[in-house]
């Protein structure tokens, strides 16, 4: 059972959309909701020209006093606004909640806090990422790689109220995320649609011997499609999701062949960039 949810907040449109998504799931599941705002330690230092450690690694220095005071005021104001948004999102709801505000390395703190919950929710892009891009921000990508928990990535604007689409390739990540996706799916009683891209015979056996048997006690209504690869798998997954008015895409993070994805592009990241709905991921 998912009894605790962590939502990462930085005031960006995507993180606020993630907050609303986290509140909805906390209400449905009866989960505790923890909001966290990390004051990025990199905002309080700069890298003087010509100063580097052995090997040419730049060495950080604290901001001058006047700039440090100004940055601290900005961060304090941001924290106040983010906490206010968190409180407002919970108004009128019977959800046990906690708001955390910490200063330090963003990736390290989020990875650590993720270990203490059942589900992590975060926006696809942060406030400092380029506004004209739909790609997952570096913090989001790092947490997907590092988290031992399922991560629900939410775009700033999303649509779809139909099925849960499971992109299943038989990989370890795909098999691990089935459990988390099933809990969310079963809690609201919608249908599942499974797409698999690859070897027809093997994937059909996986559907019959793994997914159908796993879902039998949940009485989940599911359809299955095995498709030969025609172009980019991410484009096929996103189109399948659109055809099914997907409420969410559920998929393993970074597939069964990390080396292939390193050189030829990541289906995970491409799907995140192109889909209009949240994506639940687990490595």
Q: Are residues 111 and 180 in the same domain?
A: no
Would the CA dihedral through 29, 30, 32, 33 be positive or negative?
positive
Q: What is the reported pLDDT for 259?
A: 42
Give domain status of residue 59, yes or no: no
pLDDT at 53: 60
pLDDT at 54: 57
| Residue 143 within a domain | yes
104 shares its domain with 179: no
% the chain with pLDDT above 70: 93
| Per-residue pLDDT tens over the stretch 57-106 | 778 889 999 999 999 999 999 999 999 999 999 999 999 999 999 999 99
Domain boundary among 104, 131, 154: 154
**Is 64 within the bounds of a domain?**
no
> Which residues are within 8 A (CB) of 160 and not within 5 positions of it... i.e. 6 or more apart?
241, 245, 246, 247, 248, 276, 277
What total of structural domains would you count in the chain?
Answer: 2
What is the Cα 137 distance to its own chain's centre?
A: 11
In the predicted structure, residue 262 carries a pLDDT above the cut 50? no
SS3 38: strand
Do the bridges between strand 32-40 and strand 97-104 make them parallel or antiparallel, or are there none, so unpaired? parallel
Task: Give the pLDDT score at 260.
Answer: 43
For residues 251-280, average pLDDT: 74
Strands 32-40 and 45-46, bridge-based pairing: unpaired
Indicate the residue among 154, 189, 208 that finishes a domain.
Answer: 154
Kindly state the average pLDDT of the residues 6-31.
97
| Residue that is written with structure tokens 């983010």 in the block | 82
| Residue after which a domain boundary falls, among 124, 154, 184 | 154
Residue 36 has pLDDT above 70, yes or no: yes
Do residues 149 and 168 share a domain?
Answer: no
Tokens of 198: 């690859």
Residue 119, H or E segment: strand 119-123
Phi, psi of 102 (to 5 degrees): -135, 155
Domain that holds residue 228: 164-282
115 and 195 belong to one structural domain: no
Please write the tens of the pLDDT for every residue from 169-224: 888 888 899 999 999 999 999 999 999 987 777 778 888 788 999 999 999 999 99
Say if residue 136 is in the same domain as residue 25: yes
Beta bridge partners of 97: 33
Residues 185, 237 within the same domain: yes
Distance CA 49, CA 176 (A): 47
> Are residue 30 and residue 139 in the same domain, yes or no?
yes
Is residue 95 within 8 A of residue 29, CB to CB? The reply is no
131 with 189, same domain: the answer is: no
Identify the residue with better confidence: 147 or 93: 93
Answer whether residue 48 is part of any domain.
Answer: no
Task: Report helix, strand or coil for 228.
Answer: coil
Regarding predicted confidence, which is higher, 260 or 123?
A: 123
Say yes or no: 20 and 99 in one domain. yes
Residues 100 and 196 grouped into a single domain: no
Tokens 């994937």 belong to which residue?
203
Q: Which CATH number characterizes residue 172's domain?
A: 3.40.50.620
Please check whether residues 224 and 84 belong to one and the same domain: no
CB-CB neighbours of 151 under 10 Å:
26
In a domain? residue 62: no
How many other β-carbons are positioned within 10 Å of the β-carbon of residue 246?
Answer: 28
- φ/ψ of residue 184, rounded to 5: -65, -45
| Whether pLDDT at 243 is above 50 | yes
Residue 146 domain flag: yes
Across all residues in the chain, what is the average pLDDT? 90
Return the pLDDT at 57: 72
- CA dist 140 and 120 (Å) reads 11
pLDDT of residue 228: 86
**Is 58 within a domain?**
no
Q: Is 56 a domain residue?
A: no
Same domain? For 201 and 269 the reply is yes
């Amino acid at each position: 059972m998912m009894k605790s949810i962590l939502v990462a907040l930085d005031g960006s449109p995507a993180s606020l959309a993630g907050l609303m998504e986290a509140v909805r799931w906390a209400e449905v599941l009866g989960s505790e909701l923890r909001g966290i705002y990390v004051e990025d330690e990199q905002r309080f230092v700069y890298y003087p020209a010509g100063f580097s450690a052995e090997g040419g690694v730049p060495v950080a220095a604290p901001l001058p006093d006047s700039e440090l005071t100004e940055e601290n005021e900005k961060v304090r104001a941001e924290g106040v606004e983010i906490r206010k948004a968190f409180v407002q999102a919970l108004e009128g709801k019977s959800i046990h909640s906690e708001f955390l505000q910490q200063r330090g390395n963003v990736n390290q703190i989020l990875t650590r806090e993720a270990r203490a919950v059942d589900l992590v929710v975060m926006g696809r892009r942060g406030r400092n990422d380029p506004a004209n891009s739909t790609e997952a921000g570096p913090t989001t990508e790092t947490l997907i790689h590092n988290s031992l928990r399922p991560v629900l990535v939410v775009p700033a604007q999303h649509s779809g109220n139909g099925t849960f689409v499971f992109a299943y390739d038989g990989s370890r990540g795909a098999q691990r995320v089935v459990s988390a996706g099933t809990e969310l799916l079963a809690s609201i009683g919608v249908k599942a649609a499974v797409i698999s891209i690859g070897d027809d015979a093997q994937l059909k056996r996986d559907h019959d011997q793994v997914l159908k048997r796993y879902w039998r006690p949940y009485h989940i209504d599911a359809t299955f499609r095995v498709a030969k690869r025609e172009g980019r798998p991410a484009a096929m997954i996103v189109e399948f999701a659109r055809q099914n008015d997907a409420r969410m895409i559920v998929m393993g993070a970074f597939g069964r062949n990390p080396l292939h994805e390193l050189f030829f592009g990541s289906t995970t990241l491409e799907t995140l960039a192109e889909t209009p709905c949240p994506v639940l991921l687990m490595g």
